[in-house]
Amino acid sequence: MSISPSNSGPPALELRGVAKAFGSVVALTSADLTVHMNSIHALVGENGAGKSTLVKIVAGLYQRDAGDFLLRGESVDFRSTAEAKAAGIAVIYQEPTLFPDLSVTENIFMGRQPTQRFGRIDRKAMRAEAEELFTRLAVRIDPDRPAEGLSIADQQIIEIAKAISVDARVLIMDEPTAALSGVEVDRLFAVARSLRDEGRALVFISHRFDEVFALCDTITVMRDGQYISTDAIQSTSVDEIVRRMVGREVTDLFPKEVAPVGDVLLEVEGLTSAGVFHDVSFTVRSGEIVGLSGLVGAGRSEIVRAVFGVDRYDSGAVRMHGKSVPKLNPTAAMAAGMALVPEDRRKQGLVLESSVARNLTLSTRTRLSRFGFIDSSLENRAAKDWAGRLEVKTNALDTEVGTLSGGNQQKVVLGKWLSTNPEVLIIDEPTRGIDVGTKAEVHRLLSQLAGEGLGIVMISSELPEILGTADRVLVVREGRITAEISRADATAESIMFAATHSTESIQ
C-alpha cells in the first residue's frame, strides 16, 4: 500500500451520472466512477446494484442512455467491444470467454496474430511471445494445450495476458476471485500489483472485503444503480462499507405471517457433486420458508437442481418424509411431493408460445387426460381455478404466455407447480425482473402457502427479500453452507459476512 494514486493529469477512466434502462427495468440511475492511473480501485455493491451493467457500458457491450464517459480526459462513445478494446480497455469477466477448442496461444492472439509473408501466421513468434507473457506474469501454463479444461484461475491469467499483449491501460476485473483458491488469489494479486506499478489503472469488483482491503487503494460503493461514495481505503472500514451497501429499511415491504412450523418434510444430507458443491445438509419443515442466500454463482441453484433430480450428484442423500428420493429422476421427486420453480422462467419454466391454460396444466396433464388425450374442458376448469387463486392478470386463458408481464409469467409458473399439490416448493429467484408491486404479491403468496403447511425453499440474491420472508436463512458460499441464521438473528450484515468469508473465519 505504499503507492498512492497519482492524481496528476486526467484520470484514466471517468464516468459521471451514467444511466441505463432495459425497457421498463432501470439498471443504472446515476453511476459515477473515477479511476486513476497507478491505482487499483474497488467497486462494491450488493447483487443487482448495477456494477455489471456499468462494466458492460465501459466494455462497449451496452450503450449508456445518459451521462458522461471519459477516457484520459476525452469523451468516448463505444459502439462495440472492438472499439473499447482499441481504446485500451480490457475486461476480465468472472467466467472468461475463451475458445475451448483452440490452444492457449491462439486464444491470446486471436484476430491479431503476428504474420509473415502471404499473411501466414508466424506460429513460432506467437508461441514465443506467449511464453514471454507467462514468464512476465510468473505463471506456468503450457502455451500449446487447448483452453478446454483450464481452471478458471488459469483462464483469467490468459485474459490478463491478452490484455497486456495489447497494452491495455484500463483493466476491469469483474469478481475474478469468486472461483479461485487461496494460492490462485495470491498469484492474481501479485499480477494485479505489478500491472498497477506499470502505470495501468485497475478496477476490481469483489464481494470479499478482506481481499478488497488487502489489494485496493480506493473504494467506490454502489447501491440500486446509484453512486453512493468513494473513499481512500485507509480512511474507511468494512462495517462502514457494508452499511452503505445495504443502507435501507426493509421490513415493511414484505408482509410476513409467521406460520406454525410442523414436521420435517425434506431432508438433504451430505450432498456432494465434485467441483460444484460439497457436503450440503439441511432440512425443511412444513410451514416454514427456508431462505437460501449467497452470492450469484455460489452454487445455490445447482444444489436445488440436484435435490430435485435434474442434475447429478456424487454422494449424499435426499429424503422426503424419511423415504429416500432416487437421484436424477425429477418425476420421482414430483411424485414424492417436490416442486421446483426454476430461475430462468422463460427458458425452463414456461412454454412461451402456448396458452396460459396449457401452461398451467402442463405438469398435471396425465391427470387431466382421458384415454391419453387431454380433455380440454377439464383442462380449462383446472386452469381457471389456479389463474383465479393467483390473480393472474390476463384477458383470456388462451392468451400466449409470452405476451404476459414478468410478474404474471411468474404466477403462471407458480400455478403450474402448485397444481401438482406439492408439499415442498423449491423456488429459485422468485421475483427477478418483476416490478415492486408484483414482488409484494409474490411474497404474500409464498407466505400464505407456508401458512397452508407447505415447506418452501427460496433462493434469492436480494437480501431484503430473504430478510423479509424467510424463517431461517442458509448461506451458501462457494458450494458449501457456511451459516444457518434464524429469522431473529438475520441481518443484512450477518448474511453478507457469511456469504463473503470462508467458513474458518466464522466458526
Binding site for other proteins (CB under 8 A): 61, 80-82, 85, 97-102, 106, 110-113, 115, 119-121, 140-142, 144-146, 148-149, 151, 181, 274-275
User: Which residue's CB is nearer to other proteins, number 140 or number 323?
Assistant: 140
Outline where DSSP puts E strands in 254-364: 264-273, 277-285, 289-294, 315-320, 323-324, 338-341
Under DSSP, the state recorded for 145 is: S
Under DSSP, the state recorded for 293 is: E
Per-residue three-class SS string for 30-44: EEEEEECCCEEEEEE
Closest-CA residue to 202 (of 55, 321, 387): 55
Q: How far apart are CA 250 and CA 247, in angstroms?
A: 9
User: Which residue's CB is nearer to other proteins, number 95 or number 385?
Assistant: 95
User: Which residue's CB is nearer to other proteins, number 81 or number 399?
Assistant: 81
State the nearest-atom distance from the C-beta of 151 to other proteins, in Å: 5
Q: How far apart are CA 277 and CA 119, in angstroms?
A: 48
Query: Residue 500 is inside which H or E element, if any?
Result: helix 492-500
Cell of 133: 507473457
User: Which residue's CB is nearer to other proteins, number 92 or number 496?
Assistant: 92
User: Which residue's CB is nearer to other proteins, number 147 or number 242?
Assistant: 147
State the nearest-atom distance from the C-beta of 96 to other proteins, in Å: 9
State the nearest-atom distance from the C-beta of 449 to other proteins, in Å: 38
User: Which residue's CB is nearer to other proteins, number 234 or number 503?
Assistant: 503
Q: How far apart are CA 387 and CA 419, in angstroms?
A: 11
State the nearest-atom distance from the C-beta of 153 to other proteins, in Å: 10
State the nearest-atom distance from the C-beta of 118 to other proteins, in Å: 8
State the nearest-atom distance from the C-beta of 310 to other proteins, in Å: 19
State the nearest-atom distance from the C-beta of 479 to other proteins, in Å: 11
State the nearest-atom distance from the C-beta of 448 to other proteins, in Å: 41
User: Which residue's CB is nearer to other proteins, number 149 or number 437?
Assistant: 149
Q: How far apart are CA 379 and CA 364, in angstroms?
A: 9
User: Which residue's CB is nearer to other proteins, number 171 or number 289?
Assistant: 171
Neighbouring residues of 283: CB distance < 8 A, sequence distance ≥ 6? 264, 266, 267, 268
Do 213 and 233 meet the contact criterion of CB atoms below 8 Å apart? yes
Cα torsion at 2, 502, 470, 329 (round to 10°)? 130
